[in-house]
Amino acid sequence: MSSLSQNPKKTLLFSAMKNPNTLKKKLASRFLKAMKKLKYKMSPSPPASIAEKKRRHRAVRAAAYASMASAVGPRRAWSRALLRKMKGRKRARRNPGNMNTRFGLNHLCDIVPGGEAMDSCSLLNETAHYIKCLVAQVQIMREILHSSSSSSTIL
């Protein structure tokens, strides 16, 4: 990218984005730790009850997002927003008059965590980083599944 030398903000964006391998490693370790922490209740060994399944599902999903957010740390606005959601419900809705500058980004700010209190430019930044992390997280989860299913089929 020729613009890298010229635009310091863009270089910052690229440097702040991790190398995919390191990002994945971090995400994976955190996610696995979180998964280990998720000790399912003994009662149904396969969770027969639907409620149990729901609960577990939610737990795993929360673990996924939480590990993603904590792996990224407070450097990113979306991770901060996610962590805030996990800890308390401190809605940091400081809106510096963004609505008039938001042409078409209304839906995006609903999707990306913490999207309301950002201006368009940083929202796009955050979206890019969020996409990267989501992609890595999904890959990790897939790999866990594949490895577990493959090991189970061996049995």
| Closer Cβ to another protein, 75 or 107, answer by number | 107
Interface with another protein (CB under 8 A), residue total 79
Q: Buried b vs exposed e over 49-83: b needs ≥16 C-beta within 10 Å?
A: eeeeeeeeeebbeebbbbbbbbbbeeebbbbbbbb
| Closer Cβ to another protein, 80 or 85, answer by number | 85
Shortest CB 72 distance to another protein, Å: 15
Residue 10 makes contact with another protein by CB under 8 A: yes
C-alpha separations of 134 from 54, 118, 129, 152 in Å: 22, 20, 9, 27
Shortest CB 62 distance to another protein, Å: 4
Residue 140 makes contact with another protein by CB under 8 A: yes
The full length of the chain comes to: 155
Residue 32 makes contact with another protein by CB under 8 A: yes
Residue 97 makes contact with another protein by CB under 8 A: no
Residue 24 makes contact with another protein by CB under 8 A: yes
| Closer Cβ to another protein, 42 or 73, answer by number | 42
- Residue type at 135? V
Is residue 126 a contact partner of residue 114, using CB atoms and an 8 Å limit?
yes
